[in-house]
Amino acid sequence: MARRGETIELAVLGLLHEGPMHGYELRKRLNLMLGWGRVLSYGSLYPTLKKMLRAGLIEELAPSRTTVSRRPRITYQVTPAGNQEFHDLMMEVGPTAWEDDNFDIRFTFFSSTDMEIRLRVLEGRRTRLQERLERVQSQLSMTQKEVDSYAAELQRHGVESVEREVKWLSDLINAERAVPPSGTDPALGSTAPHDPPHVPQHDHQHDQQHVPPAASSEVPATTARQAGSPAGES
């Protein structure tokens, strides 16, 4: 499983690949990428930036001062070594690429990879979630009598969330296979990166949660309004 620090490094390299940014802007963009349930503090970001500076993946630009009263802001930019590291990380395909947090970041920068890599990551993520569903469903009959109606509704919500993400991934995979990459030369069979095809949107960050077993007991009518909370399972 990818460590959180490694995931943040990949995200920082991807953002700085777009252009220089100061720490405040990096943190704001990272929080948007990680989702509202996983807020990134300065205490997590700046040690990562210092580590990347020591490794030569990023560098500081001369501080800029916007007003007399404000402290100068340090702006960071990616180095050639950092660009190469970002490229290498985005080309990796394996279990870490489809874990909850790392998949979000990889998906954000999918335009930096070719179709074959995108498909392998999407298919790996779908397989991981299907395995998760199978484990949960195999336990349903064992736990039906062990939870009350509210817990049962939360469990059903979790199962339905994963099922929705599996369908979303299947739509993406089918769309990737149906649309040839832009700029493809039929004679060369090139698979250059292209903009993602149109597929039904899905907020997968809200559906990445620990999925407990579901039960089939009766549920009060008010339950559905109280039963959702996202969390990731590695």
Q: Mapping DSSP to helix (H, G, I), strand (E, B) and coil, where does residue 233 land?
A: coil
pLDDT of residue 153: 77
Q: d(Cα 97, Cα 104) in Å, to the nearest integer?
A: 9
Give 120-145 pLDDT, tens digit per residue: 999 999 999 999 888 877 766 566 66
Long-range contacts of 197-201 (CB under 8 A, 24+ apart): 199/168, 199/171, 199/172, 199/175, 200/168, 200/171
Q: Which of 40-44, 46-50, 101-105, 206-210 has the lowest mean pLDDT?
A: 206-210
In the predicted model, what is the mean pLDDT of the chain?
Answer: 75
User: Does residue 155 surpass a pLDDT of 50?
Assistant: yes
Top pLDDT among 195 and 217 is at 195
Q: Which of 43-52, 61-70, 160-169, 206-215 has the lowest mean pLDDT?
A: 206-215
What average pLDDT does the segment 4-27 reach?
87
Q: Which of 87-91, 131-135, 156-160, 196-200 has the lowest mean pLDDT?
A: 196-200
Q: Which of 26-35, 105-114, 198-207 has the lowest mean pLDDT?
A: 198-207
pLDDT of residue 120: 95
Pairing, β 58-64 against β 73-78 = antiparallel
What the block records as the tokens of 197 is: 């095809």
Phi, psi angle pair for 169, to nearest 5°: -65, -40
CA distances from 117 to 78, 114, 172, 185, 232 (A): 23, 6, 13, 19, 23
Helix (H) or strand (E) holding 116: helix 115-138
Q: d(Cα 209, Cα 230) in Å, to the nearest integer?
A: 5
**Percent of all residues in the chain with a pLDDT value above 90, rounded to a whole number:** 31
pLDDT of residue 85: 93
What the block records as the tokens of 7 is: 């995931």
Contact (CB, 8 A) for 155 and 226: no
Q: Which of 93-97, 113-117, 139-143, 203-207 has the lowest mean pLDDT?
A: 203-207
| DSSP one-letter string for 47-77 | HHHHHHHHTTSEEEEEEE-SSSSSPPEEEEE
Q: Which residue from 223, 234, 173, 231 is spatially nearest to 207, judged by alpha carbons?
A: 231
